[in-house]
Structure formats: structure tokens, C-alpha cells
Structure 1
Amino acid sequence: MKASSLMQLFLEVAAKATEIATVIRKEKTLLDLLIEEKPDVKKNHQYFQDFKTLADVLIQETVHHFVSQKIPSLADSIYGEESNTFTNTKGDTITIEICHKQEETKALLKSILDGNDEAASLLSEAIHSSPEIQVASERLDVDIDTTDCGVWIDPIDATGQYIKGEIGVEDDNGITEDGLQCVAILIGMFQKSSGRPVLGVVVQPFAQWNHKTNSWTSNTVWGICHKELQETSFQASAINTDKQPMIVMSKSESEHVQSALSSKYKVVSASGAGYKILTTVLGLTNAYVLSHESIYRWDCCALHAVLLALGGGILSYRHAVQAASQAPGPLSRADLESLQLSYVKAAGAIASRRCSLPNSAESLPGIIAYKSADDAISILNLLKVKDVK
């Protein structure tokens, strides 16, 4: 399938996903209806509470439904964060499926929403909308073998910020530490035979708040890195050498890691794994470093494809630090290539397309996301010197 056709399809489902997220966020009463706390066995234990919303499940199933319709060979290779079940306020557990007709989807949603006809109508309209997306095909005139591909989805990254619904304040560096701006929809395609990301679409549904119109403007970023093709939706900005280089981290990051890196980099924090990687993609930070196991393939795949298209990448933290510590000198760019994250599990094929929150064995051993190989090598030298593991 042509890369241009694939990108158009992924942008169309991303636009549907954005509409779903926006519709639900507009009405607090609707949002309250749609929140379910995950059972303890499925929680991300970095957080005290971990919620899934019907927005997560609807977006994931919308992507699966419409991508599978256009590319049947991908149907069993679309993996996401959430299971496709949801429990409504009456305690009924319902399997979420997108139907072929809008009225059928509306009827299913109405049963979940305790008979709320208006809410079911709004959501079914968003799911079955027909966004007009045009992709310049001459830029993406290359074939991608979809039979050798899979898809990772994070339908609502930074769910906690989505539920709170607060408008974040942008700092002097253009970074928002908390707020709806940190929410992202992540859809990434990877090659099964190599485990490498191929294509990524990332949407901030709530990128900018307009105080005059009391409305949000979204931001969409995409990238493809396949063979000789390296394309993104935006012109990469040059790194400002006049500013102190910055690394974004989680608020829970190890003090040892922060100390090791602060000798050269200014350390800042922000919410949402996807948003933190996005700050690196957009050139707001030089890198995102996470040393512990609280990140998953669905958090990284889409943005990894964009970073590769920009000449960067995402390394496995544990393996990269080990390699740097054992090497006689600084790692090379070729070494970085061999340390890129893989999107096929070490054990081989992924058994179920609906993963929900997996156990710790399925999480990634930390990451280093970067746009410049020089930054990646510099970061690893600092971590090696401090022997931070």
C-alpha cells in the first residue's frame, strides 16, 4: 500500500479520535458518566489512581474498526492500552464495538450511557464522521507491506490530565507542565520483521486555548521513516545553541539521574509520556529521559517514527546505559542504531490485540528519546560517568 494512502487513513482516524475526545470533554456531566477506575491488577503502579474513560475505549476501537475495514490484513495486529470492555454506572459490563452503521453504534452507546440519547448521538456522530484529509502523494510515493506491519495505539495519553480538564500554563520555554495541553492521541505503525517503527500520527486535541472564543485548537504531527523515505509534517527547527540545553523528565524521576544530567542540561518536568517525547520532537527540549519501568510500547511507537524521520530516535534506557558503561569510548551513531526500541515483544508474537495495562514484564526498561545523536551520546556519557542504573 502506498505510504500516502496509509498516512491519509491514519490521519482520518486520528481526526475521528480528536472529535471523540473533544465531544466528551465539552460536558462535565458526560465526562463524569464515562470514567471507570481500573482494577488494581491493571493499574500503572507509578500512580495512586489510574482511570480509563470511555473516550479511551471508543478511540481505540474506532481506530481498529476503520483501519481494519480498509486494511483487513492489519485487523489482528492492532494493539492498544485498553481492553474493549467498559462498566457503566449500573454495574453492567459491556463489550465496546464500533458498528457498520451510525444508528447501530448509537444504540450500543445508549445502553452504556444509561439511556442518554443526546450523548449517544454526539458520540456516534463523531465516530462515523467523514473528515476531509488531503496528503501530498508525491512526497510519499513508496510502497509499505502492510502484511508485515502492526499498530500500537495510546488512545488518550495523560488520562489524568484529561479527566481534570484544567488549562495548563505555558512556561518561558513553551512547555506546559500540567493540563489538557499534555493530552495526546498516539497511533504508530511498526514493521513486525524488524520491530522498527514505520509511521506515526500524534494529535494534541487541546494544544492551544483561545480565551476569546473559549475553544481549543488541536495540533497534529506525523512522520514516516521507511527505507529511504524520511518525511514529517513540519520543518524541523534548528536547536538554539544560545539557550542552555534541556531534558524533560517525569516528576518521579530518580534524584541520581537528575543529578547526573543537571551538570550539562537544565532539567524540567511535564505530564504525559507522549507529551514529553513531543517536546523533543518539536525542539522544545533536547531529550526525554526515563530511567524506570513505567512506559509502554503504545507510548512510544508513533513518536519514535517521527523522531527517526528527523534523524533522532528512542533508545532502551537500561540497554543503552549498559552499552555505554562497557564501551571503551563514547558510543557511535551505529551503536545508537542497534539500541533503538523494538515494538515486537521479546517473547515473539503478541497474543492478543487488546492488551489493557500489562504486567511489569511487558513494560519498557526506560527510554532516552532524542532528536540529535550528539545529545544521546552526551547523555549516555553523563550517565556512564555517574554509573546511574
Structure 2
Amino acid sequence: QEDILNLLKKLFDNKSTESIEKLAEIVSSSTDLVLTEQCKQSFEQIPHDISIDLSTIGIWIDPVDGTQQYINGTDGIIDSRTGIMQDGLPTALVLIGCFDRTDGHAIVGLVYWGTALLNAKYNNLDNVYKRNENNSQRVLLHGSIDLNTFTNILDDWRKIEVAACGNKLLSIGLKQANIYLATKSAAFNWDLCAAHAIIQSANGQILDLS
């Protein structure tokens, strides 16, 4: 654990010592994952005859989505009107995504979870968040973007600056917003894979409009 701690301190230039120490503790821990009963029950909706060829599966893991926001120790303030966490992340959000190495398609995402196989689209989003009638016409943007750029685009929509790629995509999956608009290349495969599978499991999609 001490070696991991020293490495993280160098990597993040000794910012937010408390966050770094907690992250080092988690990374070096060998504690088994314990699922809640609600989570276990949610998996029961997947038919037992669904199978995946493990020989073609690849895995992307993003151990800390919104790394900078977490390490800087931001408060992770949740907007009471939207349920969206805009000001950084108070905890490390771990994204685990499985994809088909033959075609690159995301098929399983674990944060919340979803399967996006052609014959098996299931998730536990309804167990996590209930959409209300006021969630329509919201578009999520990068936290560093100039909102004035979008003055004449979707002018009757509410535009919200949100941190962390995985956090934004999960807000879409949870139906807290309708669109996440990325105007620059700011995400890697490990940022996208898990949330992409979850969004597809709810019949959503990530599109390249360039």
C-alpha cells in the first residue's frame, strides 16, 4: 500500500492527501466485492439460457472516473432539482466495461449494470432512479465548455455543465438528462465502454456526428 500511495502522490502532485490515501487503500485492498440483495435480485431478470463467448471478450476498467475532480477533493454537490452531480465527484466511480474484441461493440457495463447483447438487453436502472416529468429537454456539456457557444442551439433546452465522462453518460442512462453533447475528443475507450453498454441496454446510443 505504501508503494501505491507514493506513486499516487507523484502522479497527482500531492493534491488532496486524504483522497489519495483513501484511493491507495482501496487499490491495495483484497476485500471481496459484496453485492446488495437488491442488486442480486436485479440480475435475476436475465434469462439463464443467455450465453457469452468469453474467448472474444475484452475488458476496459476505469478505476477513477473524473480523476481530477476526485483527487482535488471537490464536494460532489448534487443538484436537488435534477439529481445530477455537477461539481466533481465525492467518491471514486469505478467503470468496468466488457466489449466484443471482434467488432468493438460494448456488451456489458458494471457501475450500475446493463447487458447490450442483441438478444439480451437488461439493466437495473429502474431500481436505481425513477424518472420524473421534469427531466426532459436537458443537455449535458463538458465542464470546461463555453456555454455561449450554444446560445442559438437547442435554445429552449436547459444546458448543464457536468464533470467526468462516465458520470455524464450514466446521467443519460438514468434518464436524468436527454443528451450528452461532446464537442471535442475528450474520452477514451475505458471512459465509454461500461456506460455505453448500459445506455444501449436501455435502447439509447452514442453517435459520432462529425
Q: Secondary structure at the match of 1:160?
A: helix
Count of paired positions: 195
Report the counterpart of residue 104 of structure 2 in structure 1. Answer: 195
Confirm or deny: 8 A CA contact 2:125 2:174 kept in the other structure. no
**Does structure 1 residue 315 correspond to structure 2 residue 207?**
yes
Report the counterpart of residue 225 of structure 1 in structure 2. Answer: 116
Structure-2 separation of matches of 1:201 and 1:129: 18
Deviation at 1:177, TM superposition (A): 1.6
% same residue: 25
- Gaps of at least 5 residues in structure 2 are none
Deviation at 1:132, TM superposition (A): 3.4
- Gaps of at least 5 residues in structure 1 are 1-19, 25-29, 40-48, 59-118, 203-220, 319-389
Moved more, 183-192 or 136-145: 136-145
* 1:73-115 Cα shifts (integer Å, max 9, x gaps): xxxxxxxxxxxxxxxxxxxxxxxxxxxxxxxxxxxxxxxxxxx
Q: Of the candidates 69, 74, 82, which is equivalent to residue 166 of structure 1?
A: 74
Matches within 5 A, 1:1-389: 34-37=8-11, 124=28, 126=29, 128-133=30-35, 134=40, 136-137=43-44, 139-141=46-48, 142-171=50-79, 172-181=81-90, 183-202=92-111, 221-235=112-126, 237-238=130-131, 240=133, 242=134, 245-253=137-145, 258-318=150-210
Structure-2 separation of matches of 1:255 and 1:123: 37
* RMSD (Å) for aligned C-alpha atoms: 3.3
Structure-1 separation of matches of 2:96 and 2:68: 19
Select the structure that is richer in helix: 1
* Distance of aligned partners of 1:155 and 1:123 in 2 relative to their CA distance in 1, 3 Å threshold: closer
Q: Greater Rg, structure 1 or structure 2?
A: 1
Letter of the aligned partner of 2:46 in structure 1?
A: R
Deviation at 1:243, TM superposition (A): 5.5
Confirm or deny: 8 A CA contact 2:95 2:191 kept in the other structure. yes
- The higher-RCO structure (CA 8 Å, 6+ apart) is 2
Confirm or deny: 8 A CA contact 2:136 2:177 kept in the other structure. no
Moved more, 156-165 or 230-239: 230-239
Confirm or deny: 8 A CA contact 2:135 2:177 kept in the other structure. no
* Distance of aligned partners of 1:138 and 1:248 in 2 relative to their CA distance in 1, 3 Å threshold: closer
TM-score, L = length of structure 2: 0.77
TM-score, L = length of structure 1: 0.44
Deviation at 1:186, TM superposition (A): 0.8
Structure-2 separation of matches of 1:167 and 1:268: 17
Letter of the aligned partner of 1:37 in structure 2?
A: L
* Distance of aligned partners of 1:131 and 1:144 in 2 relative to their CA distance in 1, 3 Å threshold: same
Structure-1 separation of matches of 2:135 and 2:60: 35
